[in-house]
Structure 1
Amino acid sequence: MATLVLGAVGTALGGPVGGAIGALAGRQLDGLVLGSASRSGPRLRELEVSLSSYGNPIPRVYGRMRVAGAIVWATELQEHSETRSGGKGQSALKAYTYTANLAVALSSRPILGLGRVWADGKLLRGAAGDLKVGGTLRIHTGAEDQAVDPLIAASEGEARCPAFRGIAYAVFENLELSDFGNRIPALTFEVLADDAVRLSDLVDESPAEIEAHGELGVLSGLVVDGSLDTTLSALEPVLPIAIDAAGASLVMHVGDEGAEALLLDEAASATDDDAFGRVAGFSRRREPFARLPSPALRYADVDRDYQPGTQHATGLAGPGYPDLVELPAALSGSNARMLVERLALRRDRGRERIAWRTSTVDAKVAPGSRMRLPDYSGTWRVESWEWREAGVELELVRTDVAAPKNLVPTTGLFPAPVDLPAASTQLVALELPWDGSRGDADAALVVAAVGATGTVWSGATLYADRGDGQLLPLGSSGRERAVIGFAKEPLAPASPLLFDRTSHLLVVLTSQDQVLSPAGFSELGAGANLALIGNELVQFGRADPVGAGRWRLSQLLRGCGGTEHAICDHQPDEPFVLLTGKLTSIDSNALGYAEADIAAIGRGDTEPVISPIRLRGIGSRPLTPVHGRSRWSHQGVLALEWTRRARGGWRWTDGIDVPLGEEAERYLVTFENAGAALRAWSVDQPVLNLSADEIASLSALAATGTFHVRQQGTRALSAPLFLISLS
């Protein structure tokens, strides 16, 4: 067989590698003489999981390709526990998370870098190099002088730690596994080995003298885990490679369908009786037509994140299953369609052959050269040549197989993972008013509204900043985002006693995918749509989308929760927080009594995000009395009266006074001038009577003085209520 003969010749010329290439050429000739035979060789593999089995080869990666890799080192999963306090009266919660440390070998030849990484089919590392979960990724490119990885060296000891020189590998340190069921996910890597796939790179490692020319330009990447001849055999159906063994070394080059075709001289006659075409100098033959199954090409589609794709040649399909050619390479759908169309045309045109004799010796005429013949149309490729006494005899095959233009590949639908950058953390901390449901009316309920600028966000770690230069851990915010934004314009003043139907507020949410919902009167009465705007608590009945994350709020209930004093203090760009959404409770004991701030740090944050605690003390501060009244008697006695309010008694449903919520009912009445208190009275009833003499003495102190009343709570005073002025 030709395979045996040419294999022996190749071994004599180039050693074992030469024998492999000779065997490849022989197989090509066998296929022409005997027909195609079944063969095993490199196959396009599915995107497998990373394995750690001994004996599996580490492939060589060329160009840009997606590979699974092999786990070459790992530690046990690391368990992390975190105890989060639920505050007073609530049980502490202990949460467990797990991380992994592992090293994955990617290529047994150096690479340029690493692109995207997938875990269980989801993006773990984006094109910009950002990890979508917590952890650190280090890339070792496989240089011959690369240093040991510090994590492996610390774990195994520097004396026992391999550097894996010549092998490109990636090391994950503290890779968070909560997104993957607390197990190591199936990892695949986009390896960037070269800027192009070149034939010379494929044969560089061979010991034989081989000259290789040309780029495999249509291929974006190639994976090789076998010998050179099996790799070339896999490429041969769609990318014929010409091999010239006539010189001192083997010469290989990629057949270029677009190269200029040389014009052969006129055919030369021969005198030998057994020579072909003795008079004409050539012999043309056409092999009989056989309706074979149409070819199909299976490949890794770069347009579909290297998922396997299949392209079929056009035309009437032959009987049986398609003749499937598996190419362990990455290429675009259009290039794959072009290759399979060329393959079909090459098989059809390859039935036409010419044996040509020429008397001219031309170094440019070698196996693989494209030629034109006198008086014959089309282009022809030199398959072999032999120098004989009658001249140089060439074996030519028809090659004008340019694929049709404007071919549309059939790739199907592919929901590619969205590669979004990690979102930045947004934070607003505040203290909530006592709602009457908690047992301890004086315990501060501090919460943190922790959101993000986008959907790619895995939560943030919260800290207390007491101003001493240290950050005290408070736990994690969780992955659910709070609805946070800012008010574009200041909110106009309005009465806290009436339903505000005239004011409108334009709110811009930090994440455009979040929404606000309207609420009816009954829902507002139940506490729906409570929001913080600046330092005022507001409920809104209407929320109309304006576009680009902007919402116009109207039908407002103002000054809720005892924040009526903030109605006139609004500023542009104040924070907006939907308090009926996701909030994270903060242990007030960890804050102490200092003016502490809350800090948050997420994966997308270069610096901690810090927020002061708004409405600090509102939970323990009594509400301002209302309905201030004053009466003068005939004897000149001034009676000051007011009506108390109680913390937590927001809904007055039965007409009966709500519980006070304080240790005792006490009030502080002050007589003030220019903001300074000149006299003060402490009473335990919502009334104060002043005699005519007391009024006279007060008038002598300040003729334009004013009376104010504050409720005295267990821990704080309420804001003042103006009663009357003496002027």
Structure 2
Amino acid sequence: MATLVFTAIGTLLGGPVGGAIGALAGRQVDALILGGGRGREGPRLAELAVTTSSYGIPIPRHFGRMRAAGQIIWATDLVEHRNTQGGGKGQPSVTQYIYSASFAVALSSRPIMGVGRIWADGKLLRGAAGDMKVAGSFRLHPGTADQAPDPLLASAEAAGRCPAYTGLAYAVFEDLQLADFGNRLPALTFEVLADDGELTLSALVDPVIENVDAAVPLGGVDGLSMDGALIDSLAALDPLYPVDCDACDEQLTIRPDRRQPTAIALPEAATSTERDDFGGNAGFARKRAPEAEQPVAMLRYYDVDRDYQPGAQRAGGRPAPGQPRSIELPAALSALVARRLIDGAAKRTHWARQTISWRVTQIDPAVRPGATVSLPGHPGLWRVREWEWRSHGVDLTLVRLAPDSAGSTSADPGRAVTAPDRPLGPTALAACELPWDGHAATPVPLVMAMATSSESGWTGAALFAEQADGSLHPLGPSGRRRAIIGTAVTALPPASPLLFDRKGFVDVTLVGDDGTLPDATMQQLATGANRAVLGEEIIQFGSAAKLQDGSWRLSGLLRGRGGTEHAVGSHAEGDRFILLDGAGTPVDAARLALSPAGRLAAIGLADPAPVLAAVQLRGIGWRPPSPVHARCNKLGNGDRLITWVRRARGAWAWADGIDTPPREQAERYDVVFAEGPQVFARWETDRPELLLGAELAGSLLAQAPQGTIRIVQRGDRAPSLPLALPLT
């Protein structure tokens, strides 16, 4: 009877939905709908849904801060991008195909404030700072009433056929690169920022019902999703946030289920002579719910500390009798809040199993559904759940209130593997050409792009060759492996390339604080360990010690490696340091040769402008190493016999008893006598020696007393650097 009365009042005030909420009036009526009704199920908690595109699927309403999937409402076909590398002389070409797509995703059927992180296949696509981890642009339309159509959608559709989707919050991805997702549209979830401040029940109720006061704070709820009827969401919230619904006045009032400062003391129960009335001469009847009643035992929710992954908290204490049930709340909570909510719900459910029917004859307006009362002869506090006016008095149905106690102080959210949100960081770039290693499969020249960043979240960069007119020619991606590069903060002193340098050292600062340099034994150095480019010299270091200022001191050096002995005395502060540890990306040198400057460029997601780097050791792969061990022997007749030892490209190992092959089509040398830029004599020979007559030698020394003999080996593609020898 009371249910019918309050349903009629609610319908008058708020329409059909108001009628449904009016049926909740007081704890006595709303128990069947919000508390323990078994014929109704609220929204269910599922694993994080993935982005779908199904006609007729409702778009949820999001409140607070929530992680949710969306509905794809518009998309283009995949766009194919072709990238060809290699294809130079004697080298096969490699063609890579990557794809991008543009699409729009509906997020919320009510306006939102913004979007935080975005996950794609479980990995971060967009960080909390708004940085995209994958190439592509992102735009958000918050769902306001005055939002304009998206320019991409408007340009792709016919004129006048693109809606603005007012009232619908949606995101647009333009040219999103799909290489990281198997060249397909990934499963997306969004951190939706719908409201700021504490969430209240008014945010849920006000848009649906007019003339209602529902200022019920939902303490601890960071976010909430609704994809069904309002009554279903209220049913899911009621066990955790119990409310009183009062439709006795002109306005429907939903207020927190709380006690008055002082309980109302009821008089002694009034007796009844009616046979069908409860209590008889006692005037009251005490009942206890059967043990088959389902006690509340567990809460499932979305855990904010685990990137909104589903979590569960169980009620503490001794399990109540009966088959336990769990509450599934599609809300974002912390583990501690969830534990306190389920503990409170379990305790209220346990104590509310005690009910008592009490008859009074005095009408007190304060004794209405939701009021807290005390009874003579019965301990504890009770709440009025139902009342009914009858001819012999007012029949009250009371439920026992749980005594006050401290809530849970700790809870464990469990462990979860969450996607790290690392900043991308700007790109740092270095480039060098490597000496030929002697293997036929190794391209010549081998130019390596060494890209890295100071931040571990860096995802690579696109590489380009700078052209003479300043334009950039694409070379492909750099990859995500970070190279070890840095800058010398001291000048490496000169040393002999023939001896192990035990005294010299150089301090270098690496790009990124997490970069490390290893030590190496003499045996490891002999096999090529710890090679590095410093300026125009290749060195090897045996010891790497990190200093207090974060720089590294390299000592125990082998100098002039790979035919770079000419650069042992050319070092200065600021020399570029590149560790040759197998990192880096080989680039097509034929495309790089189009640029006279020979510079490479890199553009990463966090780079506002291209990062440029000149190629160090340019040409070292083409030219033979300069000859060594030159001697000028004065014969008895005054003639000079000049001899030297040739070296060959790729012949870096010392093989005893075997002459080094020339690695060129012919063995040829250019020999000059010069002083400074002036050349006084020139010779050509196909043997590593030259005989000068006594008269010619004396004439040359007379013309240029400080002149030197300079020996250059001719290569098929480039000459070697000169070897200088004084003519004595």
Q: Which residue of 2 aligns with 1:262?
A: 261
Give the drift of 1:298: 1.5
CA distance in 2, matches of 1:181, 1:135: 16
Q: Which residue of 1 aligns with 2:431?
A: 429
- Change over 3 Å in CA distance of 1:66–1:356 after alignment to 2: farther
Q: Does 1:334 align with 2:336?
A: yes
Deviations 1:491-511 (A, max 9, x none): 343321123344455555435
Q: Does 1:302 align with 2:304?
A: yes
- Change over 3 Å in CA distance of 1:63–1:28 after alignment to 2: farther
Q: Which residue of 2 aligns with 1:167?
A: 168
Amino acid at match of 2:414: G
Contact 2:265 2:374 in 1 (8 A): no
Unaligned runs of 5+ in 2: none
Amino acid at match of 1:50: T
Deviates more, 1:193-202 or 1:679-688: 679-688
Contact 2:13 2:211 in 1 (8 A): no
Amino acid at match of 2:721: A
Q: Which residue of 2 aligns with 1:561?
A: 562
CA distance in 2, matches of 1:97, 1:358: 82
Contact 2:82 2:97 in 1 (8 A): yes
Q: Which residue of 1 aligns with 2:216?
A: 214
Give the drift of 1:89: 1.2
Q: What SS is found at the alignment partner of 2:17?
A: helix
Deviations 1:144-170 (A, max 9, x none): 111111121122224111211101111
Deviations 1:370-409 (A, max 9, x none): 6789999866555466899999997664445545344322
Q: Which residue of 2 aligns with 1:457?
A: 458
CA distance in 1, matches of 2:329, 2:501: 70
Instruction: Give the 5 Å matches for 1:40-439.
Output: 40-195=41-196, 196-255=198-257, 261-263=260-262, 267=266, 285=286, 287=288, 290=291, 293-319=295-321, 321-350=323-352, 351=354, 367-368=369-370, 381=383, 383=385, 397-399=399-401, 401-438=403-440
Q: Which residue of 1 aligns with 2:681?
A: 680
Deviations 1:512-569 (A, max 9, x none): 5665555565654444443212221123455567799866555433211110121222
CA distance in 1, matches of 2:324, 2:510: 55
Deviations 1:564-596 (A, max 9, x none): 121222233433323341332222222236122
Q: Does 1:604 align with 2:606?
A: yes
CA distance in 1, matches of 2:253, 2:332: 26
Contact 1:270 1:390 in 2 (8 A): no
Give the drift of 1:58: 0.9
CA distance in 1, matches of 2:491, 2:484: 19
Deviations 1:161-208 (A, max 9, x none): 121110111112222222222222221111111123221111122243
Amino acid at match of 1:141: P
Give the drift of 1:664: 4.5
Deviates more, 1:509-518 or 1:215-224: 509-518
CA distance in 1, matches of 2:442, 2:18: 88
Amino acid at match of 1:310: A
Q: What SS is found at the alignment partner of 2:18?
A: helix
Amino acid at match of 1:17: V
Give the drift of 1:621: 2.7
TM-score after normalising by structure 2: 0.88
Q: Which residue of 2 aligns with 1:10?
A: 10
CA distance in 2, matches of 1:32, 1:39: 9
Q: Which residue of 2 aligns with 1:22?
A: 22
Give the drift of 1:623: 2.2
CA distance in 1, matches of 2:442, 2:222: 67
Unaligned runs of 5+ in 1: none
CA distance in 2, matches of 1:28, 1:236: 13
Deviates more, 1:179-188 or 1:584-593: 584-593
- Change over 3 Å in CA distance of 1:174–1:320 after alignment to 2: farther
- Change over 3 Å in CA distance of 1:239–1:539 after alignment to 2: same
CA distance in 2, matches of 1:547, 1:394: 79
Contact 1:706 1:723 in 2 (8 A): yes
CA distance in 2, matches of 1:660, 1:392: 116
Amino acid at match of 2:453: A
Q: How many residues align?
A: 719
The alignment-based identity, stated in percent, is 49
Q: What SS is found at the alignment partner of 2:538?
A: strand
CA distance in 1, matches of 2:535, 2:171: 48
Instruction: Give the 5 Å matches for 1:314-713.
Output: 314-319=316-321, 321-350=323-352, 351=354, 367-368=369-370, 381=383, 383=385, 397-399=399-401, 401-438=403-440, 443-511=444-512, 516=517, 524-541=525-542, 553-590=554-591, 591-592=593-594, 594-662=596-664, 664-673=666-675, 675-684=676-685, 685-713=687-715
CA distance in 2, matches of 1:617, 1:344: 78
Deviates more, 1:474-483 or 1:185-194: 474-483
CA distance in 2, matches of 1:454, 1:529: 24
Contact 1:263 1:372 in 2 (8 A): no
Deviations 1:90-111 (A, max 9, x none): 1111111122222111111000
Contact 2:369 2:384 in 1 (8 A): yes
TM-score after normalising by structure 1: 0.88
Amino acid at match of 2:324: P
Contact 1:86 1:585 in 2 (8 A): no
Contact 1:237 1:343 in 2 (8 A): yes
Q: CA RMSD in A?
A: 3.8
Contact 1:7 1:26 in 2 (8 A): no
Amino acid at match of 2:38: A
Amino acid at match of 1:112: M
Deviates more, 1:176-185 or 1:400-409: 400-409
- Change over 3 Å in CA distance of 1:693–1:373 after alignment to 2: farther
CA distance in 1, matches of 2:404, 2:468: 74
Deviations 1:426-455 (A, max 9, x none): 3211122233334899x5332212233344
Deviations 1:279-319 (A, max 9, x none): x9996956468485452211111122112222111222135
Give the drift of 1:359: 7.4
Contact 2:222 2:331 in 1 (8 A): yes
Contact 1:244 1:366 in 2 (8 A): no
Give the drift of 1:415: 1.9
Deviations 1:637-672 (A, max 9, x none): 444333332222222314343233445444444444
Give the drift of 1:466: 2.8
Give the drift of 1:345: 1.8
CA distance in 2, matches of 1:516, 1:138: 42
Give the drift of 1:114: 0.7
